[in-house]
């Protein structure tokens, strides 16, 4: 009798549970198609330098492949350049975490082209380009530097059409502070190259930023107080550079 009573109670309990409405929380219908939150910005998967890339320096490879793993999104501002760019802490200079460094020591403009894909894949808001002095040290002419830069600009336009492009002038160097033998008597190439770069910017409809006068000592050489080796920049020079770019960063 006791066993029959126990089974009857259990059956009644199961019937009552079956009649109760579901109490678990469901995802609202309107939220089902929303993208997941906290998803990292675009990263180019398994990106590697092209097999025929121009720079085989080990530091270059480490830096370029590291950049290839870092996310970029449409709010970001990229600083693309050589050792002058590599040496700056741009996010701190501008107090803006979206300003990201993509500079590599020793890089030439073809090198920028070789490692462009992970940059444009994220479709950044702006790209600021500074380059050419290493090309000068390789014996390249001012006009050739401008042609290489034009190829780069066209690639950015094609791969990331909404990205605003800013081309900065080459800076002077100063062989009186320290002799860079491959830059010896090449000051005029920087001047000629800057003129050609400015013409290229007009042709392509991109923004030209002439930094050269801010760093020139009046004799076509980098101000000695801005450098300790005749080429690379001291802290005060980065402040001057930041102040020149700030209106373009904020526009």
pLDDT digits (tens, 9 = 90+) for 94-121: 999 999 999 999 999 999 999 999 999 9
Tell the burial category of 186 from Cβ atoms under 10 Å away from its Cβ (0-12, 13-18, 19+): middle
Mean pLDDT for the chain? 86
**Predicted pLDDT at 78:** 98
Residue 14 contacts by C-beta under 8 Å, 6 or more apart in sequence? Answer: none
At 41 the pLDDT is 54
**For range 148-166, the mean pLDDT:** 98
Dist. CA 108–CA 114, nearest whole Å? 10
Residues 6+ apart with CB under 8 A from 90: 79, 99, 100, 101
For residue 125, pLDDT over 80 is answered with yes
Helix orientation angle between 142-159 and 187-204, rounded to the nearest 10 degrees: 30
Domains annotated for the chain, with CATH where assigned, are 52-171+181-210 (3.40.50.1110)
Q: 199, 190, 198, 121: which is closest to 155 by C-alpha? A: 121
Residue 51: what pLDDT? 67
Predicted confidence at residue 212, as pLDDT, reads 98
* pLDDT tens digits for range 180-202: 999 999 999 999 999 999 999 99
Give the C-alpha separation, 129 to 36, whole Å. 34
- The pLDDT assigned to 56 comes to 76
Question: Which pLDDT score is estimated for 22?
Answer: 41
Q: Report pLDDT for 10.
A: 43
- Residue percentage of the chain with pLDDT more than 90: 76
At 60, is the pLDDT very low, low, confident or very high (cuts 50, 70, 90)?
confident
- Other beta carbons within 10 Å of 165: 19
pLDDT exceeds 90 at position 205: yes
Which residue would you say has higher pLDDT here, 140 or 17? Answer: 140
- Tens of pLDDT along 7-55? 444 444 444 444 444 433 333 343 444 444 444 555 555 667 676 676 6
Q: How much is the average pLDDT of 127-139? A: 97
């Amino acid at each position: 009798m006791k066993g029959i009573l126990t089974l009857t109670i259990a059956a009644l309990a199961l019937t009552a549970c079956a009649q109760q409405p579901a109490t678990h929380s469901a995802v609202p219908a309107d939220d089902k198609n929303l993208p997941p939150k906290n998803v990292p910005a675009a990263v180019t998967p398994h990106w590697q330098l092209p097999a025929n890339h121009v720079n085989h320096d080990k530091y270059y490879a480490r830096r370029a492949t590291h950049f290839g793993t870092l996310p970029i999104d449409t709010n970001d501002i990229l600083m693309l350049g050589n050792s002058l760019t590599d040496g700056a802490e741009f996010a701190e200079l501008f107090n803006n975490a979206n300003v990201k460094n993509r500079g590599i020591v020793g890089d030439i403009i073809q090198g920028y082209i070789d490692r462009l894909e992970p940059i444009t894949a994220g479709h950044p808001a702006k790209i600021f380009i500074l380059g050419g002095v290493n090309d000068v040290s390789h014996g390249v002419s001012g006009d050739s530097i401008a042609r290489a830069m034009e190829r780069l600009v066209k690639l950015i336009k094609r791969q990331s059409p909404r990205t605003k492009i800013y081309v900065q002038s080459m800076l002077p160097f100063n062989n009186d502070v320290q002799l860079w033998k491959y830059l010896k008597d090449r000051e005029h190439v920087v001047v000629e190259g800057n003129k050609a770069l400015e013409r290229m910017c007009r042709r392509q409809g991109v923004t030209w930023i002439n930094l050269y006068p801010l760093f020139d000592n009046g004799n076509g050489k980098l101000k000695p107080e801005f450098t300790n080796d005749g080429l690379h920049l001291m802290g005060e020079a980065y402040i001057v550079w930041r102040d020149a770019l700030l209106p373009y960063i904020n526009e």
